[in-house]
Amino acid sequence: MDLDHIFIMIDPGRADDAALGLGLHEAYRRQHPGQGTRNICYALPDLFVEILWLDDRAAAESPAIARTSLSSRGRWRNTGACPLGVAWRGAAAPFPTWDFCPPYLPAGLTIPMACDSDDIQQPLLFRSPGSTTPRDWPVDRQGGLQAHLGLGLPIQVALLVPPAFQPCAALQAIMARTGLGLRHIQAGWGLTLQGTGASLTLAVRP
């Protein structure tokens, strides 16, 4: 089990502001038809960071999508939901999952989602449908792997969580197997990337 990507949900229209302020170079962006979300992704050698936002609340609340609570997560300031998601790559989950089948996936492909993520105060935990690291993507899709930031390998990733947050069993299992860390902050949610030469923090505040 390896970390594939971390997402953080932000307010619509703020994606470029959030990324440009940190000097990130975009890898790609896409819409998720039928799911009600759009994203911008920023690649590092071993994983990527996804900025995600709602663009169709009705689609996000449709029967096929509703269990993910993406609608609530995208409106986290009003709902109290966690706006973070953690995707792993590789091994099957050592905890209970359910099969998510969003309309944009090819027929027959599903995404295993942690049942613990039914608690919207926990991150959305799921197995990525992708199987390769960004360093193995086509060069024109890598966005330079953020080499200009001087993070330097290895890169340690930590989730930033509110003071009262306690990780569910599924998140604890992912942390134990991937080295994902956890840091409590005064308010809000986010993530940090700590490399050998630099660090990067992306957070959303109440």
pLDDT for res 151: 86
Local structure of 50: helix, strand or coil: strand
pLDDT tens profile 62-86: 999 999 999 999 999 999 999 999 9
pLDDT exceeds cutoff 80 at 184: yes
H helix runs in 6-109, sequence order: 15-20, 57-60, 70-74, 76-79
pLDDT exceeds cutoff 90 at 89: yes
2-147: CATH topology is 2,3-Dihydroxybiphenyl 1,2-Dioxygenase; domain 1 (3.10.180)
Whose CA is closest to 146, among 19, 6, 7? 19
d(CA 206, CA 196): 31
Reported pTM = 0.94
